[in-house]
Amino acid sequence: MYQNNEDIRDEFLYRLNNEEFVIDKTGVKTIEIINANFEVTEPTIFGKRNEDYIKREIEWYESQSLFVQDIPGETPKIWEQVASNIGVINSNYGYLVYSNDQWNQFDNVVKELNKNPDSRRANMIYTRPAIWQDAFVDDMSDFICTNNVQYFIRDNKLITSVNMRSNDVVFGFNNDYAWQTHIRNKLHAALDVTYELGPIYWNVGSLHIYERHFNLIKEWEGNFAEDIKQRVWAIEREIQEERRKELARQPEFNFNG
């Protein structure tokens, strides 16, 4: 298991430097970590979050609409590409956890944790066996990426365990983590007892980065090297300052008698 975001960045850099590439179904070069598991310690791994889009996507998820044209503002091309002929998709995460069609999973998790805080059943299931057919209806290409998210209350903390089939480490992770934080916070507020916010663990079958984003790995490497340089420089200055202080504290000796 990797420990945190930093470990994941290190692993991608190692694989890039060793040219450990995987070619995906479209012929694009990727770097892939199979069975990546880590505690999320930062909201991004590579790149910056698009806060405007995240806000719009969460608003759309909350609406539970399966139509991509209902995304506020301009519909991202990726959603248009995976949607059916009439603009329908499967992966509205709000629909998957809130709706009656999907068994009111959010409400059931709230009830379960209120009834039994030690439960191992507080599980929101995003995908479904029928996805093998549902993913391709009317020229759709939307095989849900999130498998399930399980919640635990241990040591007075609400702990989140996200389990994903596939996750792009740039756009995918940044947006998915924003949603999982949002839904975790809503769950936290809905519980009868106030618990501490515990860690969010991220478990991915295929965590990957596309060649068009390899530059972000190198950019991080450069920033990391500069950060190390600055830290070493600061430590050296502290050591020099301590030496000066030590010399200043030493008594002066008069050898002339």
Catalytically active residues are 145
Sign of CA dihedral 41, 42, 46, 49: positive
Q: Own/partner pairs for 157-160, CB < 8 Å, 24+ apart?
A: 157/195, 157/196, 157/197, 157/198, 157/199, 158/184, 158/187, 158/188, 158/191, 158/195, 158/196, 158/197, 158/198, 159/198, 159/199, 159/200, 159/201, 160/184, 160/198, 160/199, 160/200, 160/201
Q: Which two tokens stand for residue 64?
A: 């539970």
Residues forming beta bridges with residue 203, ordered by sequence position = 37, 163
Rounded CA-CA distance 38/228 in Å is 23
